[in-house]
């Protein structure tokens, strides 16, 4: 059975399917701090709650925790970073960095806005 996903723009396909990165400070969710839920742009799985979002000033939306079981980690092709993917559809989200001491959870999920869809509470 073939899985059906949401239609994506060419820019979204570049990020989600080809593991690209949007330019820093260009994403619509970088500075959004409304209460709500962030979903996978490709399959609508819930990935992050707004309560875990924080201002990292890195140029991309940052979260210090994901919804349990929503995000899968794997070593990036460069062998140095840890890539994060939607656990349901393998959409590329971005990278996770640990040990920066930016939050009490000591993790920063650096996510492309084009990988996400936001639903306000």
Q: Using pLDDT thresholds of 50, 70 and 90, give the confidence band for residue 108.
A: very high
Is the pLDDT at 120 greater than 90? The verdict is: yes
Question: Per residue in 34-62, pLDDT tens?
Answer: 999 999 999 999 999 999 999 999 999 99
Question: What would you report as the CA-atom Rg of the chain, rounded to the nearest whole angstrom?
Answer: 13
Q: What is the pLDDT of residue 11?
A: 97
Domains for the chain: give ranges and CATH numbers: 10-120 (2.170.150.20)
The values of phi and psi at residue 114, to 5°, are: -70, -10
pLDDT surpassing 90 at residue 2? no
Cα–Cα distance measured from residue 15 to residue 94, given in angstroms and rounded to the nearest whole number:
9
Give the pTM.
Answer: 0.94
Active site members = 110
- 59-94 residue pLDDT tens: 999 999 999 999 999 998 889 999 999 999 999 999
The pLDDT tens digits for 8-33 are 999 999 999 999 999 999 999 999 99
């Amino acid at each position: 059975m073939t899985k059906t996903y949401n239609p994506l723009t060419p820019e979204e396909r570049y990020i989600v399917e080809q593991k690209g990165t949007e330019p820093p400070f260009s994403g619509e969710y970088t500075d959004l701090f409304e209460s709500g839920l962030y979903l996978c742009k490709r399959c609508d799985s819930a990935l992050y709650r707004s309560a875990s979002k924080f201002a990292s000033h890195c140029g991309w939306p940052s979260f210090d925790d994901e919804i349990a079981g929503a995000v899968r980690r794997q070593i990036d092709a460069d062998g140095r970073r840890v890539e994060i993917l939607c656990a349901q559809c393998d959409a590329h989200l971005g990278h996770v960095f640990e040990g920066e001491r930016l939050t009490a959870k000591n993790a920063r999920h650096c996510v492309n806005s084009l990988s996400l869809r936001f639903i306000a509470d």
